[in-house]
Amino acid sequence: MKQLQLTGRHLLTGPGAISGLENLDFTRALLVTGSKSMFRSGVIDRIRDLLSPRGLLKIYSGIGANPTCAEVEAGLSEMRAFQPDLVIAVGGGSAIDAAKAMLLFYEYSSLNFHNVFQLPLPQTRAKTTFVAIPSTSGTASEVTHVTVITFPDKKQKLAIKTEAIRPDIAVLDGEICLSLPPHIAAETGMDALTHALECYTNRSKDTFTDLLAEGAIRGILACLPASVHEGTLESRQKMHEYSCMAGMAFSNAGLGMVHGISHAFSAFYHTAHGLANAVILPYVLEYNQQDGWVAAQLDKLSALTGGDIVAQVRTLSGQVGIPSCLRDTGIPEADFLRDEAQLIEGSMLGSTAVNPIPMTREAIAPIIRAAYYGNA
């Protein structure tokens, strides 16, 4: 038997969906966000106008890209001092992931970064209602039970998984994405495509996740160029929804080696998560394709989408401005050669363990080299 969990209690979607916040009952609300973009776009003011008449509101804006354990602990101190019964995370996947970790430690004061990876984790939450409002269309953190936190001292990105951090309410409002710069739309959109493709080639997939992933893949292939180059409300709303579908799929089936390698590079060089995934994706697909079962899954997708799926991924990447190799993302060759052994070790962590082809250090090393130098 397999138990599926696609989202929390509610999913609000469509332009203007953020207005649904006015129906929330709370006493003290903590808003967790990044430092600039949600303020510049007016989203924070909009939320403040919706919530301030209903209760006390505090804003915590100390979250950067690839959130670190230190940022989570700083936010946790604010959360404990304020004692909210409603937490709203608004912004990219980093803000939502940070809020998830903060919320887990707030609900369960005995947990911390020293023991969270060793202990069995609680699966429920009692103190707070949790709302996630993504401003990018990539991570799908608004519907998943996963948070990924960076540990700079170890140069690692590690995942915490528990139902206790899945948002109760996800809000997909395309209007929030209208100010998204084209390169961020491209990177996060390719992140969503990576989620769907890794899920589709994960051996834990099922009929439900297949249908969600197929829909997301077909939608992203068709819609991402318009989202990047035109930035219309329709294209941004659709990308929000396709990203969410991919999140529902992978959170119930798993990912693969793309994420294992990308987390290693992000931990070492602060490479944007979506960008790293986008560059690495075709190299991993081509490697995994040597397995007959994976090849059959990709053949199905090729038939559904009207062309070789790996070639379509490469074409789409070029259309939206994704570099063809990690060297072209700005990682100096000297740094890569210095860190290569550690990158191999780091790439063996996380989702690489559920890659459809079991991986060894010897097998993953040439894939990492190919992705860095651009050798197919």
pLDDT digits (tens, 9 = 90+) for 248-268: 999 999 999 999 999 999 999
CB atoms within 10 A of CB 127: 14
Which residues, given as ranges, of the chain have pLDDT below 50?
Answer: none
CB of 200 closer than 8 Å to CB of 301: yes
> Looking at residue 108, what is its pLDDT?
97
3-state secondary structure string across the chain: CCCCCCCCCEEEECCCHHHHHHHCCCCEEEEEEECCHHHHCCHHHHHHHHHHHHCEEEEEEEECCCCEHHHHHHHHHHHHHHCCCEEEEEECHHHHHHHHHHHHHHHCCCCCCCCCCCCCCCCCCCCCEEEEEECCCCCCHHHCCEEEEEECCCCEEEEEECHHHCCCEEEECHHHHCCCCHHHHHHHHHHHHHHHHHHHCCCCCCHHHHHHHHHHHHHHHHHHHHHHHCCCHHHHHHHHHHHHHHHHHHHHHCCCHHHHHHHHHHHHHCCCHHHHHHHHHHHHHHHHCCCHHHHHHHHHHHHHHCCCHHHHHHHHHHHCCCCCCHHHHCCCHHHHHHHHHHHHHHHCCHHHHHCCCCCCHHHHHHHHHHHHHCCC
pLDDT digits (tens, 9 = 90+) for 159-204: 999 999 999 999 999 999 999 999 999 999 999 999 999 999 999 9
CB of 372 closer than 8 Å to CB of 219: no
Structural domains in the chain, CATH included, are 10-176 (3.40.50.1970), 182-373 (1.20.1090.10)
**φ, ψ at 91 (rounded to 5°):** 140, -160
> Looking at residue 375, what is its pLDDT?
76
**Nearest-angstrom CA–CA distance, 125 and 324:** 43
> Looking at residue 35, what is its pLDDT?
75
pLDDT digits (tens, 9 = 90+) for 284-313: 999 999 999 999 999 999 999 999 999 999
